[in-house]
Amino acid sequence: MCEKVTVLLPIYGGDNPEDLDEALNSVVQQTRQPDEILIVQDGPVPESIATIVERYRREYPVTRHVLDTNQGLPTALREGIRVASNDYIARMDSDDLSTSDRIRKQANTLDRNPSLDVVGGQLLEVDPETKEIQSRREVPTDHREIERMAKHRSPMNHGTVMMRRDAVLAAGNYRRVRRMEDYDLWVRMIMNGSKFKNLPDVLLHAR
């Protein structure tokens, strides 16, 4: 049985509207469409951003969850996990581009491996102006290697991950840890018995 997928994408007032439009377009053009695109709005946003969100809401399965005040990325992610409709949750940032078959590859991997809780992948860092590739951010693929790296630094490219909601909640969800909210979560999930994997494929272009 194929589980349904939520793409969790936080936004805030300082986001670039054009980048957001391109990020959302990379989600809706997936070879396997997400069942929900959950936009967590972290405080007020300008009309230029609100207009883009509303346009996608009219055409695609977009849900918007609004926080009245800007509370920061960890809180936005925590809220997103809490209110998401589906068990598979794919992370996405407002200025990144997912490769077209990212959701299909990750969802299929979780479907075939019930013991896995988090599946990430490789990413390319691109220049925000020229779009030229600057570097490739490599992470280990095997759980043991991921666990070993986690003792020193984050073993996952945060924007690439798809994770099981129940496993995230069982480990305590995201916490307010400045600039380390993902690393903090991975360590707690590993300690809680969750299994990780990174695909060798590039799943994201990160500005």
Return the bridge partners of 202, or none.
Answer: 122
Q: Is 131 in a helix, a strand, or coil?
A: coil
pLDDT at 56: 98
Yes or no: say if 13 and 49 are a contact pair by the CB < 8 Å rule.
Answer: yes
Average pLDDT over residues 156-178: 96
Q: Which of 88, 84, 86, 27 is nearest to 60 (CA)?
A: 27
CA pair distance 32, 15, nearest whole angstrom:
26
Q: Which of 132, 177, 131 is nearest to 154 (CA)?
A: 177
Q: What share of the chain has pLDDT > 90, as a percent? A: 94
Single pTM value for the model: 0.96
pLDDT digits (tens, 9 = 90+) for 10-40: 999 999 999 999 999 999 999 999 999 999 9
pLDDT at 132: 85
